[in-house]
Structure formats: C-alpha cells, structure tokens
Amino acid sequence: MQIIQNNIINISEKTASYILSQNALNMRIKYIKRTTMPPQPKTLNEIDVLVSLYYTLSETLFLVKDTIVNQKRILLFTTTVNIQYLSQVLF
C-alpha cells in the first residue's frame, strides 16, 4: 500500500487520470494474490517446507526436526547457537 501511495504522489495529473482508484488497485492486488498464490494451509500437515528454508542466510541448519508424534506434526526451527544459549539459562 505504501509503495502505491509513494508512486502515485509523484505523477502528473494527466497520468493520474488513467490510474485506477485506491480501492480498485487494492481489489486488483487481492485478486492477483488469490489467483496466483497457493492456498494457505489449514493444518500443519499441509505445509511443505521448501528446502531453501531449512537453512539460514549464513547456511546454518535452521529446520532441525520435522517429525510426527502421536499423529501430530512437529516442525522445530532453531540453530545450534540458540540451543547453546538455552542450555546456559538458569531457571
């Protein structure tokens, strides 16, 4: 939304007359998202984690566990550094 507003502010009146209204632009964006993006998963089992999301930007393993316990899926995202921090916390 902010991108649209920033770009519309800086155009000429002649060009602005050809641009859709703010509401029409919002509706168009929502339509494109609905028709081009896959549906949102309803359950954890429907999530297909991309391999590129298994790792951080520094190529450290991030998805450390993808398992099923008692017929429920568990995705555990963390790094070894975070585990080390947690191990040092005093309770």
Confidence of residue 11 (pLDDT cuts 50, 70, 90): confident
Contact status, residue 79 vs residue 61, Cβ threshold 8 Å: yes
Confidence of residue 64 (pLDDT cuts 50, 70, 90): very high
The total number of residues written for the chain in this structure: 91
Torsion angle (degrees, nearest 10) of CA 67, 55, 52, 64:
0
Q: What is the mean pLDDT of residues 33-49?
A: 84
> HSE-up of 28 (CA within 13 Å, CB side)?
9
How do the domains of the chain map onto residue ranges? 2-36, 44-87
Contact status, residue 25 vs residue 18, Cβ threshold 8 Å: no
